[in-house]
Amino acid sequence: MRQYELLYGLQSLLEYHRNSGISHYPKDKEISRFLHSLAELRDGPPSPQARTGQVAKTLADHEVVGVPLNFQQPAVSLADIAEEVAQCRACSLAESRMATRAGLGGDRVRLLIVGDWLTGGEPAVLSEEVQFGIEEDRMLFRMLAAINVQAEQTFITNAIKCVIPETTQPLAENVKICLSFLHRQIALLAPECICTMGMLATRALLGLPQPLSQLRGSFHSFKADDGRQIPLIATYHPSFLLQNPEMKKAVWFDLQSIGRQMKTFP
């Protein structure tokens, strides 16, 4: 099982490197030895570890001498990604998390909503359907109903896929490692529009340094891994609105923009 987790963690890291613009690795003895060990795993026995062998083959089939890092990942579904999230041990959040949340929704959606992360107390308190929080989710679905967007037309997820204690603050490295899951979800969902709710989610996808107060209010363009440009609007997270109800007017403005973009609101 540890080989399975290790290789998926490595795959996430390689995907992050590729998304960050790293195109080559230098060849040295250590990397050559590592690739040789991966080659020994590629024909492993069928089981949950069979996919480990598939990932190992993906990595080990490439020389590292000036060869671009353009490995082809196995075809996946949203369920596959959810399984990877559940098995992931690639960063420190796995040590203290109470659960994982890959997202909620169908595989044919129009709107992707991305929040920051979910915090929780006892795992039993939050059902698997809760994505932003119990009250936060209720507020979100009321918002969507107000612009005539049905729940089945949306996929809701977080930039950080672990459910973590309230005392835990994710680090930049946690976001970077987790981002590959989100990028692959976007590629599979191919949404018409993306709404980021919260500063962490917004920076994760846009990579811009401005505060959320400056980034919200208008559409940006997110470039998906397949090159498609997807309109993205940033706004405040429902948890922020519960503490700052005076900001609901600003969010309502952003939601109306989404509705007009999707032609569900006048």
pLDDT digits (tens, 9 = 90+) for 223-247: 999 899 999 999 999 999 999 999 9
Whether residue 110 sits in one domain with residue 227: yes
Asked if residue 50 is part of any domain, the answer here is: yes
Whether residue 136 sits in one domain with residue 41: no
Between residues 93 and 122, the one the model is more confident about:
93
Residue 137 pLDDT: 96
3-state secondary structure (DSSP) of residue 246: helix
Whether residue 206 sits in one domain with residue 103: yes
Asked if residue 224 is part of any domain, the answer here is: yes
Q: How confident is the model at residue 74 (pLDDT cuts 50, 70, 90)?
A: low
Asked if residue 138 is part of any domain, the answer here is: yes
Residue 8 pLDDT: 53
In terms of DSSP bridges, do strands 229-235 and 193-197 run parallel, antiparallel, or are they unpaired?
A: parallel
Whether residue 204 sits in one domain with residue 121: yes
Residue 178 pLDDT: 95
Whether residue 96 sits in one domain with residue 35: no
Domain that holds residue 212: 92-262
Asked if residue 87 is part of any domain, the answer here is: no
Handedness of CA 244, 248, 250, 255 (dihedral sign): positive
- Structural domains in the chain (count): 2
pLDDT tens-digit series, residues 5-20:
455 556 656 665 555 5
Residue 230 pLDDT: 98
Whether residue 56 sits in one domain with residue 181: no
Whether residue 109 sits in one domain with residue 16: no
Whether residue 226 sits in one domain with residue 107: yes
Q: Say if CB 152 and CB 101 are below 8 A apart.
A: no
Has residue 184 got a pLDDT over 70?
yes
Asked if residue 69 is part of any domain, the answer here is: no
Whether residue 105 sits in one domain with residue 45: no
Has residue 88 got a pLDDT over 50?
yes
Stated length of the chain: 266
Residue range 106-133: mean pLDDT, rounded: 87
Q: How confident is the model at residue 133 (pLDDT cuts 50, 70, 90)?
A: very high
- Among the candidates 43, 60, 77, a domain finishes at 60
Asked if residue 67 is part of any domain, the answer here is: no
Whether residue 118 sits in one domain with residue 158: yes
Whether residue 226 sits in one domain with residue 105: yes
Whether residue 158 sits in one domain with residue 218: yes
Helix (H) or strand (E) holding 154: strand 154-158
Q: What CATH number is associated with residue 230?
A: 3.40.470.10
- pTM given for the model: 0.75
Interatomic CA distance for residues 78 and 181, integer angstroms: 10
Residue range 24-29: mean pLDDT, rounded: 60
Q: Report angle CA 206, 200, 4 to the nearest 5 degrees.
A: 95
Which own/partner pairs from 45-48 qualify as long-range (CB within 8 Å, at least 24 positions apart)? 48/1, 48/4
- Amino acid 191 reads P
Helix (H) or strand (E) holding 88: none
